[in-house]
Chain A
């Protein structure tokens, strides 16, 4: 069974830039896996940020961007705000199934 792996935790300073990655045990992540990125703050429902590798939803702040980087999906936050502190999950499509990564807890400090 395919496992999707993310950094367990990352720390970034306010105003800084950070990149979260999403790797697959099945091999390099490609656009065909249609990477999605989802944000979840404590006590709240998830909120989708990115779909199909790099497409933003209408509500996604401009400082969030998605890409493919070195065989992984990547989410880059530029000009991090304190309110960006959250857990970020990636999601990949593999044929008939959808697989979430374990999530990256982003601390803004």
Chain B
């Protein structure tokens, strides 16, 4: 069974930092792109980033470029999101998801496939 489990969320003060993790299992992690998406309380989904199969190419939404950094460790089947210079408006549930932007696992497609359950980040003093 494909499974993504996020962790690392919590309460952090404005200006602080946090590292989120997304542990993957049940599929060949290194064969798929990975995405981060967040959802502020009562709001819609917002795309944050996507990273390619080996982490050599990562794209970010303008709203987090320069503050958030994505990395992945294919040996540990884990995706990371380093959050820094956090603001109150970064308060949200953060989801990781697997998917593709091109050739993945022998198939060509652009899409988001399986989502994790999310981890909550609260930025407040």
Contacts and interface: CB of A to CB of B under 8 A. Distances in A.
Interface in A11-57: 34, 36, 38, 40, 45-48, 51-52, 55, 57
A45 B109 contact: no
A61 B116 CA distance: 20
Contacts of A36: 110-112
A98 B38 CA distance: 13
Interface string B111-125: 111111110000000
B31 interface: no
A100 B112 contact: no
A: interface residue count bin:
20 to 34
Given A45-B95, A45-B118, A96-B59, A38 B45 contact: yes
A38 B46 CA distance: 12
B125 to A, nearest CB: 28
| Chain A interface main SS type | strand
Interface in B66-125: 95, 97, 99, 101, 109-118
A103 B42 CA distance: 12
B111 A98 contact: no
Contacts of B47: 91, 97-100
19 contacts: A34-B109, A34-B110, A34-B111, A38-B45, A38-B112, A40-B45, A45-B116, A45-B118, A46-B37, A46-B45, A48-B111, A51-B111, A55-B109, A55-B111, A89-B45, A91-B45, A100-B37, A100-B45, A101-B44
The 10 closest A-B pairs by CB, nearest first: A51-B111, A34-B110, A98-B47, A96-B59, A103-B44, A100-B45, A52-B109, A45-B115, A45-B117, A46-B115
Given A45-B118, A97-B47, 16 more contacts: A34-B110, A36-B110, A36-B112, A38-B45, A45-B115, A46-B95, A52-B111, A55-B109, A91-B47, A93-B101, A97-B59, A98-B35, A98-B50, A101-B44, A103-B44, A103-B45
